[in-house]
Chain A
């Protein structure tokens, strides 16, 4: 009897303790560990890539600290709230994109920024990376799955408007990621394989159409990708130099801060989009394998968490966010190593840069929310 009592007390306190630590915080320790490992490693690479500048590292660390807070904050919202909020969010962000088109700020040949003078300057397209999967997931979760023709049509419409606006800025990278996030929701919702095959076929057939609708600089990027040696000092320079950096790193790498390609400034954009080349040059194949393993574990854990969500919205949203994260990694590493054309996609959690890391961490916050909330929220 006494034993039973004490066991009960013990079990309850243990549960209580668990509740106090992770569940009440709505965090997943494994995902957090993977995130922090990659971010920490990224800061080490950034220190070298930025020419031993502590300024860059400090700014990046502060940004991630803030992003972690945002993640923590977002993780507190229940998926139900998010689902209700999705439509409103979608409409607001779409209006912002329209505003960007009208009154946005130009930079580097594109109109991507929305500036509220003296307060903030940001890219609404970044927010769409969250709004899009939320909205599609919110819509589909209310429908009978797998989605039918009508559902698909609605989704296509929901997707088409913002993607068109973003592509018009022009921002190929982001519009592609936004499209991917929507497509992943649909795929995860159980779209029939036959249909997927047909769509892929149509997509390939539509390639020439895409070509004629591209901007000159985008075409140039594709051409350069196909044959970087054609313009070794112009647009081909980036790819040649990044391949040289990666290749010269070898298996063991040249050592931290010893990469000649990056330290001697041959490598362009070395602390932003091309930072993975710095890592590959200085830490070699081993470093790359470690990095890719971390990403793989992160994605796998994310997929597991999504699948543990208690409702369809959470599953679809979480799964889409994780797979979009994968697209980030794949496109970035692919373009830097010369297997994909150069599109402006940063290496997530590592590249130095503004809004992208914040939206990414916010996405992970949502993932943690869908994973943790079902256990505590009474139905």
Chain B
């Protein structure tokens, strides 16, 4: 039993990592009051940017940063359309996803199937020798270890720093925030772009540590899962970790079942994560905690005059 479960849980952590980055990115954005449905597109573009950087420079860390930067650049497009031009946040996010997926499929064509250097797993000193826990959590690549720290930073940022509190205030009541002398527009830009950075890291993980080569449709719905997970997590980083690993688990389990050669058709197995997304949303709605959503989420700040 353990021979089956431990590799499964280890694979769960790996599959959950890109989703975790993306979920925290969307959560950051939404905390500032902006809904970004472009996650799927941003992740794809970032995955390609990271891949190309790694392919041409051979430096995985540079590539990881390139993914984050591409995420920031793309998210700032959404920021410009929604924050400055007061465009509809839902439609702008969708447009960004369409644009991003198109751009990735367009530019990525010559590289399909070509490998690029990325991050490889190594045993984390000391910690990896803990029985079970070490096997599950500490025999991964560096980006997984980084992702263990990010939720704490995220929590600290919103609980203990004034910038974090200001961002949260613009997500709740931008008018009140402006009245006490904060700059809601700038704070929202910050949330959108910082969120885009995290989404970009999630995308970069896909090409740098998950596949190590370029394929089309790398994001595979993970961006949308991230949007759903923010609701599931009630805008709290700790629950985002749980949600991301839940989905990582289902994805890992479904791959394993396929590899073992079950009689279930693969198309039905592939439905699992998408079905689970709906189930997870039903569950969060049933718990009735929608009150936790930032009050001004999805509404733009109208200029005066």
Q: Do A and B come from one complex?
A: no
Q: Which A residues are closer than 8 A to B by beta carbons? A: none
